[in-house]
Structure formats: structure tokens, C-alpha cells
Chain A
Amino acid sequence: MRNIHIAIAGNPNAGKSTLFNALTGSHQHVGNWPGKTVKKKVGRCKHGDYPMKVVDLPGTYSLSAFSPEEVIARDYILDQQPDVVVIVLDSANLERNLYLAVQTLELGVPIVAALNMSDIVDAQGIKIDYEHLEKALQSPVVRTVASKGEGIEQLIETIIDLAEGQSVQSPDQKEPFSINYGGEAEAEIQRVEERIIQNSAVPAHLPERWLAIKLLEEDEELWKRMEGVEGGPRLLEETQRGIDRLEKLYGDDLDITFAERRYGWIAGLVQRAVKRTVSNRMSTSDKVDRIVTHRILGIPIFLIAMWVVFQLTVNISGPYVDWVDGVISGPLTSWIEALIGRVGFGGTWLEGLFLDGIIPGVGGVLVFIPVLMFLYFALAILEDSGYMARAAFVMDRLMHIMGLHGKSFLPMLVGFGCTVPAIYATRTLENKNDRILTGLLVPFMSCGARLPVYVLMASVFFPSNAGLVIFGMYSLGIVTAIILGVILKHTLFKGKEQSTFVMELPPYRLPTLRGIWFHMWKRTSAFLRKAWTVIMVVSIVLWVLISIPMAEGGLFAETEVGDSLFAAVNRQIAPIFGPLGFESWETSSALITGFLAKEVVIGTMSQVYAVEKGVEGIQSTSFFEDLGTIVTGFVDATMDAVKSLPLIMGINLFEEEEKPEPTALMNAIRMNFEASSGGHGALAGLSFMVFVLIYTPCMVAVAAERQELGPKWMWVSILGQTILAWLMALIIFQGGKLLGFG
């Protein structure tokens, strides 16, 4: 059986990615805000006897060549010639969605229209006449609910039929699809079309009528293409005369006139094919929007939403963090120790590498997986429900202060999860200056990897106000970005034109468990991958550096950490941090490795503080006893998490807040910071957190900056962040001391 090549096109938010997942079974990221798939995704699958290659094109509103996504989508359809293009349409929003379908039909490729989210339409009492649509579009129409997997089987069958040439078209529709643009325009289109047919140098895979229309619309990309073709300049000259004639006649740009005609045709079709049984202009979505996007209430609602997210992240995940910590430092460590002993390496450097290098390094990071899962869970709900787009709307005014607009807020929100995709997300902005400015400010949105550092430091120095301090860090990042944006707007970006804010607000949707799970898992697994690669390597390298002795007579792997090569190097660097309150080689090593990735900051700390093992691991337990402890520990953690739910609202229903038992690492950090700051440990801790917030997020983010903004802006970003981090930490520590805090 032959391979079927399918491209999926559709408006942002029509459910393209969900349908792609349903077809290919792959776990793709899906969110409810416009403009995620900038690159195209490819999946392979087999249905029946047919192997299929499915390409998910970026979401676009049209196939003109005005944005990078549109060019990618259009060139793919034109040049790669897929067997079938599946157009995903949001059934609740047919008129606007059909515009892309019509443009694709004009390209002359076989399409299947998937009328997605049809359950929502049913619920709204809207009846769609599928047969009528099929006739008008001269293409099969399939009803789907991709999120529930409904209609997928039928869609696949339809695709196969169409690819095999057994289309549903009735024989009287031999004419290819076309829209009538009206007397004068049609005459002109035909004139240009004939010229194109006569010119044999025009690439044969460009449909003539479509090319004629696009040239008359002054499509930049196609004009450029035709200039290079033999006889092209003459063709363009004649086209230009036609354009001048028609524009005089219609009194408007031809592309607008043509778009008007297409929309007119669509409006007529929708009127005939869609029947509203209930006339309900003010939907529930609108009612919610009345409040959520309210001029005055909007921003407080946004802040409350963020507050709940971070309380949830910090408080509910707490018991699970303790549980993971217990498992790693207890049973897991003793199992590995026993295993190494069993194979005969007990007491050698290999044991040291595992027990003092890899386990504390990687384990120290893995402990925070619950925190991240709760953060990603909350972000997934915000995205999938459609609230993110509202946040952009509400923040538009604020973004204008720094010379940006609401759409730039989306990459910034993504930045709370991870800086790297956030920098890539700046691609969805149309204006280059917007992209650069947004890319420079995104790193100040505190990413998930920085959270564990705050959690640890806050629980050391501010155990009773941890949530507040952490929230403060996030707010400080935002405020810094705003102030910096204002400064940049009036200096480096002075006089640069501000682009315009146009964005679709998708209807609110109830997030599906499956969607949220995909989302959470995708991000958490990316973090886990980092743990196994970057963090593992850093832990090993660190252990080696720590094991090389600098003192006389020291032996490899048996030297005191403080006498190691690593300590010696970092002692040279440490004075830089003196004025900030944390001049110690331990802290500076954590920050230096933090340049690679913020995930390793805590790992490094666990290693360099060479935390003495308590007496806990001494009593030997059997494997099954350990397993039992792990399971009951998880149950207890869940009970504690449920109990702390009311804490989100700041209510403590259950017993006195018990101070968590400080771990050995926490005690070591406290002592170290107290010593380096001359007794102002808490201030130094805060200053350290601010430094971590502001300086370069990680090497991968730097690479993303280089790719998206260019080397010049990458260096501006790195140097700017480091200097700013130092200055702000200085202000916190010295200012705090002057004012008598801490």
C-alpha cells in the first residue's frame, strides 16, 4: 500500500495539535492560546494497510505571505505537494475559519475539512448542514471532536478515500473550486492567467489561476519568485497595469477587495449552512470576560490567580518534596551502597563518586520534581482554559509602558515555565524590534528551575513566610522587566515604531485531564532529561574537581572538600560576592555552575557542603521494609498535602504551623551565610536569591537567544543580566543593612 502524505492546516486554536495527536498518537504540547506551532511537526503512523506521514503546519489565519508561519505553511503545501490537506475548523467559529479553507482550495489541493469541536456547537444549539458545506467546498467534510477522539476513524477513512481518488464529489462538479471575484476583476484574472499559461518558464506546480490572483494581490513573495523567471518582469509589468486599473475602479487595495469577496462568499455559505436555534449573542464566555478583562478588576484578578498558583506550588507540593527526599537519602542510597558493596567496590573511589557525587547532585535536584509538577499543572490549567489570552489582554496597557503590547506577554508567561521555549515563542511577534525587546526581558520571568533555589533558601531563612518571599521573587522579576523595558524603550529602542496588537481571545474551555497531563508530563520530562544529562555530567565533573587535592599529601577522592582544586578556584572568585553578603567559595561554586543551568545550583550546594550523613542510615532494614516505608510515606504526604489546601487562601485550619525540621543541608547553608555576611544571614540569603533571579538563566537559554536575536543581543543579554544581578543583590544586602533589617 502506498504511503499517504497528509498536511494539517488550520487557524491557531482550532484544535490542530489535538487532532495531530489523535492521528499520530504522539504526545504533543497543546495549549489554548494562539500561536504555538511555529515550526512544523512531523509524525508517522499506520492506519489499516496505509503508512502515513502527517505534518502539523503552523496555525495561520490565511495563506498570504505576511508572517513566517504563513510562508512555512504555504510553501509546504505548494512545494511538497501533500496527497491530502486536512483543514481543521473550529465549528463554533466557522466564518473566520473557512477563510483559510477557501484559500487552500484555491491552491487546487485536495482537502478534507474537519469540523472540530462540534460538541461545543451542539451545546450552543447550532445546527450545521454538512452536506451543504460539502457541496459548496467540493470536498468531504467530517465532524470531529479531537479532544475526545470522536470522528477520527471516519476522518482517516475519508483521507484514504480521497488519496486513492475515490472522492465524494458528484460527477457534475468537474470544475475546480473557484470563487467569482466579479466582472472586471475576473477579466483581469483571466488575462494574467493566460499570460502565465503562455509563459513556459513559470514553475508548473504553481496553479495558474491562483498565481494570477496572488500576483494581482501584490504578494511580495511570489513577485520576488516571478522576477527571477524568464519573461517574469514583463508579466509583472502587465500585472501592475491591471492592478492600477482595478484599484482605481474599486478604490481600495486589491488584496483587501479580494479578501472582501472571499469573506462575502463565505458569509453567504455560512448563512445557508449554519442554523442557530437559540440566538444568544452574549455567551457564558462573554459574561466571564466582563469580569476577567474588566478595566479595574482585571489586574487584581490576574494577581490573585498568580498568587493561588504559587501557593499551590509551594504549599501543596511540600509534603511530596519531603517524601522524595526521604526516599533518595534513605532507601535509595542504602540500596546503591549495598549494590556497590556486593560487586566488590565498597570503600573505593567509585563508591565516593556515587554516594558523594551523583546521588547528592542529581538527587538534590530530583527532590524538586513535585514542586515543578504542581507549577506545570497550574500553568497547564491557565493555558488550556483560555485564561492566558485574557491575561495578555489585561496586561496590554502595562506592556505599552515598556514599548510592547499584549501579545509580548504570552512569551513572558511561558517564561515562568522555562526561558528557552519563551525565547522561541517571541517568533510569533510580527515586528523585529518587539521580538528583540521581548527576548531581552523574558529571562527576568522566573523560570521553573529557579524555583527550587527560592524554596530551599526561603525555608532556611524565612520558614514562616516562605510563600510570600517566593511570590516576592516572582514579582521582583516582573518589576525589573518593566523598569528595564521603560529604560530600553527610551534609549536603545527610541523612536522605533510600535506595532499593533491584534489577538484572538479563544472561548473558555474546560481543560481536559488528558491535555493537562500531556502538558505536565512534557515539561517535567524535559526537566528530567536535563537531570540525567546536564546535571549528571556537572555532578561528576564537580565530584572530580572536588576530589583533586590541593593540600600537601592529599589523596585523590580522600581529600577534604575545602582543600580541593574546586575550592581553590572558587576562593579566587568569591571576593566578587563579598559586598553582596555571600563571600564563600561554597556559594560562588553554586553560582558558577548555575551559569550552566539553574537546576544544578542546589546539586552543587549539596556536594560542596559535604553534608555529614546523620545517624539515620545506620539501622539496617530489609528491602521490603524499605518498600513499605516508601508507600506509607507517600500516603502520609498526600494526607498532608490535602490538609494544606486551605493554606492557599492563607487559612490554617489544622494545628499550629509546625516548623519543618531543618535538614543538614539547610543548617550548613544557614551557618555559611551567617558567617559570610557577618551575622546578617537572612539578608545575604535574600540577596543570593535576587542574584539567582536576575543573572543568566542557563546555557540553553543563551543558545536560544543567539539563534533568535543574534550574537550581538546575546552578549548584551548575558553581560546586562550579570551586572544587573550584582547591582541588585548589592542594593538588597547593603541597603537592608543600612536600614537595620536582618
Chain B
Amino acid sequence: MSVNTLPLSMVKEGENIRLVRLNAGERMSQRLTEMGLTPGTEFTVIQNTTGPLLLLVRDTRLALGRGMALKIVVEQLCEKED
């Protein structure tokens, strides 16, 4: 049970996270929502270096601009690596 919230842009590669809140404008929130990024969704950051992030959301690979990633609040899930 971790309750460590942070902006998506700061999540490390390979980490599993849960979406908490979208601090974006209405139009953008709607866009993200219909692509499957709803609050509570668990997803993985595949790539996060510079430039856009690569996410794995509901079996879809999504490219997301870094600016947007700053406005998405996520929480880290406890490590359940085997």
C-alpha cells in the first residue's frame, strides 16, 4: 500500500503506476480518457528519457508528450516483482 503520488513525468522506466488525477484542460482530459487513461487505471511506463513518454495502457502503446505528463498525477504501486 503505497500512497506516494508524483507527476507522471518523474516515473522511472518499467514502473507500474496508477492514475490519480488529470490536471489538464477539459478537452485534453477527454482525449486522454477516451484513450483509456481514466483515474484508477493501472499502467506501465515503457520509456521515459527525454522527449515523449511511451506508456503501456490497457494493451495499447501510447506516446504522450512530456508537457502533458507533467500534468498527470500518478501513484506508485508497491513493487510486486518476483
B22 interfacial by beta-carbon distance below 8 Å:
yes
B78 interfacial by beta-carbon distance below 8 Å:
no
**What residues of B have a CB within 8 angstroms of the CB of A66 in the complex?**
27, 30-31, 34
CA distance A263 to B63 in the complex (A): 20
**Min CB distance, A224 to chain B, in Å?**
16
CA distance A92 to B21 in the complex (A): 27
> Given A260-B39, A289-B54, A295-B49, does the pair A93, B34 have CB atoms closer than 8 Å?
no
**What residues of A have a CB within 8 angstroms of the CB of B12 in the complex?**
none
Give B31's nearest chain A residue, CB to CB: A502
Please choose the segment from A94-102, A314-322, A446-454, A561-569 that sits at the chain B interface, where 4 or more of its residues have CB less than 8 A away: A94-102
Contact B47 A293 (CB under 8 A): yes
CA distance A74 to B71 in the complex (A): 30
Residue of A66, A498, A500 ringed by the most chain B CB atoms within 10 A: A500
**Min CB distance, A255 to chain B, in Å?**
6
Q: Quick one: which of B32, B50, B58, B65 contacts A95, CB cutoff 8 A? A: B58
**What residues of A have a CB within 8 angstroms of the CB of B2 in the complex?**
none
Contact B58 A96 (CB under 8 A): yes
Q: Quick one: which of B24, B40, B61 contacts A504, CB cutoff 8 A? A: B61
A161 interfacial by beta-carbon distance below 8 Å:
no
B73 interfacial by beta-carbon distance below 8 Å:
no
**What residues of B have a CB within 8 angstroms of the CB of A99 in the complex?**
34, 36
**What residues of A have a CB within 8 angstroms of the CB of B33 in the complex?**
255-256, 259-260
CA distance A405 to B46 in the complex (A): 20
Contact A393 B34 (CB under 8 A): no
Contact A501 B30 (CB under 8 A): no
Q: Quick one: which of A94, A396, A500 contacts B24, CB cutoff 8 A? A: A500
Contact B24 A503 (CB under 8 A): no
**Interchain Cβ contacts within 8 Å, total number:** 119
**Min CB distance, A222 to chain B, in Å?**
14
CA distance A253 to B50 in the complex (A): 31
**What residues of A have a CB within 8 angstroms of the CB of B60 in the complex?**
93, 96, 504
Binary contact track B11-51/A, C-beta < 8 Å → 1, others 0 = 00000000001101011111111111011110010110111
A505 interfacial by beta-carbon distance below 8 Å:
yes
A439 interfacial by beta-carbon distance below 8 Å:
no
A selection of 9 A-B contacts at a CB cut-off of 8 Å is A95-B36, A96-B36, A253-B29, A289-B61, A295-B50, A397-B50, A502-B32, A503-B62, A506-B61
Give A274's nearest chain B residue, CB to CB: B59
A593 interfacial by beta-carbon distance below 8 Å:
no
CA distance A506 to B60 in the complex (A): 8
CB-CB nearest 10 A-B residue pairs = A501-B65, A62-B34, A397-B51, A295-B49, A95-B58, A505-B61, A500-B68, A260-B38, A259-B33, A61-B34
CA distance A246 to B28 in the complex (A): 21
**What residues of B have a CB within 8 angstroms of the CB of A430 in the complex?**
27, 31
Q: Quick one: which of A392, A505, A506 contacts B54, CB cutoff 8 A? A: A505
CA distance A286 to B55 in the complex (A): 11
**Min CB distance, B8 to chain A, in Å?**
12
**Min CB distance, B80 to chain A, in Å?**
13
| CB proximity to B under 8 Å, residues A339-371 | none
A252 interfacial by beta-carbon distance below 8 Å:
yes
> Given A397-B50, A500-B28, does the pair A256, B65 have CB atoms closer than 8 Å?
no
CA distance A66 to B29 in the complex (A): 11
Contact A502 B38 (CB under 8 A): no
B7 interfacial by beta-carbon distance below 8 Å:
no
A406 interfacial by beta-carbon distance below 8 Å:
yes
Contact A396 B65 (CB under 8 A): yes
Give A60's nearest chain B residue, CB to CB: B34
CA distance A64 to B40 in the complex (A): 21
What is A's interface to B at a CB cutoff of 8 Å? 61-62, 64, 66, 92-96, 99, 252-253, 255-256, 259-260, 263-264, 267, 281, 285-286, 289, 293, 295, 389, 392-393, 396-397, 400, 405-406, 430, 498, 500-507
Give B38's nearest chain A residue, CB to CB: A260
Number of interface residues of B (CB under 8 A): 38
**What residues of A have a CB within 8 angstroms of the CB of B32 in the complex?**
502
CA distance A95 to B59 in the complex (A): 8
CA distance A430 to B35 in the complex (A): 15
Contact B51 A295 (CB under 8 A): yes
Contact A64 B34 (CB under 8 A): yes
What is B's interface to A at a CB cutoff of 8 Å? 21-22, 24, 26-36, 38-41, 44, 46-47, 49-52, 54, 56-65, 67-68
**What residues of A have a CB within 8 angstroms of the CB of B38 in the complex?**
256, 259-260, 263
Contact B30 A502 (CB under 8 A): no
**Min CB distance, B52 to chain A, in Å?**
5
> Given A96-B35, A502-B63, A502-B68, does the pair A293, B54 have CB atoms closer than 8 Å?
yes
**What residues of B have a CB within 8 angstroms of the CB of A500 in the complex?**
24, 28, 31, 64-65, 67-68
Contact A289 B46 (CB under 8 A): yes
**Min CB distance, B34 to chain A, in Å?**
4
New contact pairs (5) apart from A256-B30, A396-B52, CB-CB < 8 Å? A96-B35, A259-B33, A295-B49, A396-B65, A498-B67
Residue of B27, B34, B54, B64 ringed by the most chain A CB atoms within 10 A: B34
Give A262's nearest chain B residue, CB to CB: B38
Contact B63 A503 (CB under 8 A): yes
Contact A263 B29 (CB under 8 A): no
Contact B40 A260 (CB under 8 A): yes
**What residues of B have a CB within 8 angstroms of the CB of A62 in the complex?**
34
Residue of B22, B31, B56, B65 ringed by the most chain A CB atoms within 10 A: B65
**Min CB distance, B49 to chain A, in Å?**
4
> Given A61-B35, A99-B36, does the pair A505, B62 have CB atoms closer than 8 Å?
yes
CA distance A95 to B35 in the complex (A): 10
CA distance A90 to B46 in the complex (A): 21
Contact B65 A502 (CB under 8 A): yes
Give B19's nearest chain A residue, CB to CB: A260
**What residues of A have a CB within 8 angstroms of the CB of B54 in the complex?**
289, 293, 393, 505
Contact B35 A256 (CB under 8 A): no
**Min CB distance, A88 to chain B, in Å?**
15
**What residues of B have a CB within 8 angstroms of the CB of A267 in the complex?**
58
Give B65's nearest chain A residue, CB to CB: A501
Contact B39 A502 (CB under 8 A): no
> Given A64-B30, A255-B30, does the pair A96, B59 have CB atoms closer than 8 Å?
yes
CA distance A501 to B51 in the complex (A): 11
**What residues of B have a CB within 8 angstroms of the CB of A253 in the complex?**
26, 29
**What residues of B have a CB within 8 angstroms of the CB of A264 in the complex?**
40
> Given A96-B35, A505-B54, does the pair A392, B63 have CB atoms closer than 8 Å?
yes
CA distance A289 to B35 in the complex (A): 20
**Min CB distance, A598 to chain B, in Å?**
33
Give B26's nearest chain A residue, CB to CB: A253
Give B33's nearest chain A residue, CB to CB: A259
CA distance A99 to B60 in the complex (A): 13
**What residues of A have a CB within 8 angstroms of the CB of B67 in the complex?**
498, 500-501
**What residues of B have a CB within 8 angstroms of the CB of A392 in the complex?**
63
**What residues of A have a CB within 8 angstroms of the CB of B68 in the complex?**
500-502
**What residues of B have a CB within 8 angstroms of the CB of A506 in the complex?**
61
**What residues of B have a CB within 8 angstroms of the CB of A501 in the complex?**
52, 63-65, 67-68
CA distance A62 to B31 in the complex (A): 9
